A and B are shown apart, each in its own frame.
Chain A
Amino acid sequence: MQKIGVFVCHCGTNISATVDVAKVAETLAKEPGVIYSTDYQFMCSLAGQNLIIDKIKELDLTGVVICSCSPRMHELTFRKAADKAGLNGFLLEMANIREQDAWVHKDREEATLKAVALGRAAIAKVALNEALIPGESKVTKRALVIGAGIAGMQAALDIADAGFSVDLVDIEPTIGGLMTQVDKTFPTLDCASCILTPKMVDVQQHELINLMTFCEVEKVEGYIGNFIATIKKKARYVDPDACTGCGLCTQKCPTKNVLNSFNLNLDNRSAIYIPFPQAVPLVAIIDAAHCKKLQEGKCGVCAAVCAPKAIHYDDCDKLVENKYGAIVVATGFNPIEVHAFNEFAYDQSPNVITSLEYERLMSATGPNGGTVLRPSDKKHPKTIVFQQCVGSRDTTSRGKTYCSGICCMYTAKHAMLTREKYPDTDVYVFYTDIRTPGKGFDEFHRRAVEQYGVHYIKGSIGKVVPMSNGNLKVQASDLLMQRQLHIEADLVVLAAAMEPDKSAKHLAQQLTASMDNDGWFTESHPKLRPVESPTAGVFLAGACQGPKDIPSTVAQAGAAASKAIILLIKDKLKGNPCVAHSAENMCNGCGACANVCPYSAITYVEKEFRMPDRTTLIRRVASVNPAVCQGCGACTVACPSGAMDIFGFSNKQIMGEVDAICQ
């Protein structure tokens, strides 16, 4: 005999404003098996939970239905409460009458009827629930951090400092990420290298961090606590252990006209190169696409001059497989390509550049050693025009709908530094809105206007026309003055929107971690679980989750690391008990279930069955490994005899819900 208790939550007025909660409780009380039904203002509060606990004990309930918010929000909370009262947590079901009812409907009567229907479905299901006890699995005490920018480095350092081994993987030949290309940081104007390079060295010297540069994560399998990652070590053609980073090969290499991607193609490098002088590891690498020896078979100069014999032209990609307990994703961002914005003439003139290119022009390690000279004729620019929001807040196919968040600040930084270094330069900034939330950020922007005399103009560039002398005719609007401006500029700088790194998409598919429409990783809960991916055991650090500046990136990386540590410090994890199982008497061993199982959790065993007349029969039947099964249910549908079923979402339970809804 079922003894079900129904608890309807008001959620303040979130539910009760649209749903007549008292009526819901009253109607559901008449459902078969229900012996108690009530409504309360906040079920998730301590008092609400105590109410549930007391009633379970008092009435000896066999099942509990909570009509409240989404189970994604509070299922765990209520299950814990039930457990406390001595009722197995899996004998509790939630009816989602907030997110999927009260919040999406306006008509009170309709919403109340729907709440009753959803409540009925939950009651029908809970009547068929079984007590489940989660299995346990071991945790591999090793973390994988993907991406070694400032976020990945911070996360790796924190996890390693807590005493766990970390593999830090980066797709580039050096760690450091995008911050290595930045000259100064806002709003303090710290030199980026001075704060970044010591951290890079810390990472390299940490005994628990294993650096895997120029590597790519190919495949990830497994689950929380037990991930198996296949990592591709791309051919470097230089033995990183033997190379001393002396740089002699880079000087002697005859191919010197390869575009230097570190300086965003503003100058050239050799085919064998060290990305930049502070690279970690400080090791050369051969650019196979441009190396004469690798392309044409002739040359070999670098191998000849290399004293430690570190160069191996026969190097090839290698795959390594490792086990990890936790994964931190820190793949970061890149500025978008601006070719589609042809009104700015980026493709027509070398003097139209992006902000990151301007950053390289200003940097001491940049193409001109820190002197700002325009690319076309190396002349000092006298008039510089900055355009913000290039591709940000753009709903057309050319751009991104979101605000990239950092452009207002770095443009203010560029404008300020330019005026400080070259007071004879006229600097214009065209903006749509100035968005500077952050400690000291708006003060920084105001300083650019008030102290440094940067011309901030509310408006936009409409057209840039390159002239034969390299100058640029800029036509722009000034909305506050109601006029169109025509400026002859030497340099136009575009603040390009940011987008997720290209490698993120493949990685998300491997991790089965979800992404939003723009390709940013989604967090488990936007407010309460901001650094966890919905996929258990995967944590998010930095700009892979959305546009972010450096301080927020570092803060989030630390948070992601602490979440990873919380996981790694456990010896065993409780698994998901909602896994598949097969009724051996019905199974005929056809193999259909194993065919569709994505985790290879199903094997076949020979089993002895009793037959009539005291005979026995040995038959092949399916057996599910509950530690490996993730509970998707593909096998339950594939099974022709109906032997396969899944705990927590059994055929009977779902059918019960269908019946209740169609009543």
Chain B
Amino acid sequence: MTSERRSKTLTAVLMITPFVITYLTVFAYPVYKMFALSFTNAPLIGEGEWVGFDNYLKLLNQKLFLTSVWNTGYFVVLTVIPNTLIGLGLALMVVRLRGWLQSLILVLFFLPYILPVSVVTQIWEWVLDQQFGIAQNVIEFFTGRRISVFRDPLWAMPMVALVTIWWTNGFNLLLFIAGLRNIPADYYEAAMLDGATRWQCFKRITWPLIWPVTALVLTLQLILQLKIFDQVYLMTEGGPFNSTYVLLQLVYREAFRLNHGGIGSAVAVFLFLIIVTVSVLQYQLLRVRGR
């Protein structure tokens, strides 16, 4: 019996080894190293000295850090709830359709989601180009002038948010459609027989029953949008006047541009802790719901 048990353990070890070694090397060690570096004054490449909490204190006094925290929060506000509600709205429209028409419309809404971020930003830079962009006609109609949206501190962040919503909404849409399909049709039939209006149906049946999905989408969105970097970097590079500078970009700037590996890691730790906290809360939320 013992030899069988030993061979079992051996097989298990053989099977988990490739994953575990990779995990330890490119995942666990970097997590440890991120914390370790954040307490040193190391450059990007090379050793540094232990400086305790100096990096964190420096950050608290750094204006750009506070700006980045603020902007990241602003971006989250501009995207999370609107993106969730738009996803629900579109799902309510798409779910009424049938057959090939539904598939087609779904593809139209979903396609942006699978595009690489740089493709998305290139397309929108063209659409929003101040001189020749076709969307400038809309902007001109409402404001009376053509606006270089990514060079205007007032417009830059909302526009980045708009592009982000266009890009990522397909995913929310899918989750909502799955959720809506799980609501039994008899509920609506019964309500219709009692003479309920569309709005009453939505308020009394759809909204409460879809709420778990809504909560899931909200938290997934929150986690995703806190990690904003790519779109901002590609469309505004954090400008104008740092009005779109975000946390992950500060990591990039400190570590890779200014060669401050230590401070860059400290910002990374900050972001890491926020996201892990949100994730743990989400996990608890899902568990409570699962019961």
Partners in one complex: no
